[in-house]
Amino acid sequence: MNAGPLAGIRVLEVGTMLAGPYATMMLADLGAEVVKLEPPGGDISRKVGDYYFASLNRGKRSVCLDLTSDTGQRRLGELAADSHALLVNLKPSVIRKLGLTYEALRRHNDRLVCVALTGFGLDNGDDPAFDYVVQASTGVAALTGDPAGPPTLPGYSSADNSTGLTAALGLLAQIVSGKGGQIDVSLRDVMLSQLNYHAAAYLDNGVEPQRRPHGAHSYYVPAQLFPTAQGYLALFITHDGFWKLFAGEAGLAGFETMAERVSSREAVLGLVTAALATDTAQSWEARLRPLGVPAAAVRTLSQALDATPEMVVRAGEHRLVGSPVRVVGWTPAYRPPPKLGEHDGTAA
């Protein structure tokens, strides 16, 4: 297989910063032709740093367009006529003002798939909706961190990245349908969706989710971070078979069913904490993994990257994390991010 699975698919992107560009980079990695339509000053993420821009825009083409001008609008129509999809992440009012909806573009191509990636939905106004704001407003921050401390935000842009992936899925689903149309994906909706079982517990049974020490799982015991003689260990015991294997290695007895462990949560956690304190996190990982017990020492990003060199790729002068989608028999050709307007004269 020489061509990627999305070879022949052409996607236009009017993207800024993270969520939209991440969505289309995933498609570009899989062989789609992604044409990034940038304003005269370029995507503002170019000003953050070359490494930042490269991490979200490798393998794309760049066409510089002033969409507020008649010339820019004519060019947009020409590009839309010869494309499969358009993905845009801007405020809803700006999306409509610039004519970046299916309603506005269908006259050029009625099979065009238009994806609007917004904070709260295409019809729900322009309230500011950056990643951290959405994490705060949907309950994610309230669920994160030690219960004795303040709400906490994850150390990366989980809302932007998750919404980008969801938008890419919606785009591909509509292309597969063979029909054009408008796809509406919002950061708010995606993050509420990702709180799935927490939301179900509340909606069905009125159970309010709560923060637990060390990120403990609501339903499984023991399933959380534990301090060890050196470093922290993530232990995730999700069924009784795992517990039997772990208990045998750790020299523990009793609490053989999940129901027992849940009803005696504090007692179980005390025993497990004491047992894990006798060895280091790295050693526990080495002891438990061959048994099939889910466990991992907490690592830094640099340690994780050093341990997975196969995930590091080169795109021009940049070293980046490669695509997480592996297609057997095919390897992506990672190309560098485009210079602003690099393909003004070559994009059909």
Residues 281 and 183 in one domain: no
- For residue 223, being part of any structural domain is answered with yes
Residues 189 and 222 in one domain: no
Residues 95 and 150 in one domain: yes
Residues 178 and 223 in one domain: no
Residues 19 and 132 in one domain: yes
Based on the structure, what is the number of domains in the chain? 2
Q: What is the pTM assigned to this prediction?
A: 0.93
C-beta atoms surrounding 247 within 10 Å: 19
For 30-75, how does the pLDDT look when each residue is reduced to its tens digit (9 = 90+)?
Answer: 999 999 999 999 999 999 999 999 999 999 999 999 999 999 999 9
Residues 218 and 190 in one domain: no
Domain, as residue range, for 124:
10-194+312-321
Residues 46 and 84 in one domain: yes
Residues 101 and 221 in one domain: no
Q: What is the domain-level CATH number for residue 142?
A: 3.40.50.10540
For 151-197, how does the pLDDT look when each residue is reduced to its tens digit (9 = 90+)?
Answer: 999 999 999 999 999 999 999 999 999 999 999 999 999 999 999 99
DSSP code, position 117: E
Q: What is the domain-level CATH number for residue 223?
A: 3.30.1540.10
For 71-94, how does the pLDDT look when each residue is reduced to its tens digit (9 = 90+)?
Answer: 999 999 999 999 999 999 999 999
Give the catalytic positions in this structure. Answer: 160
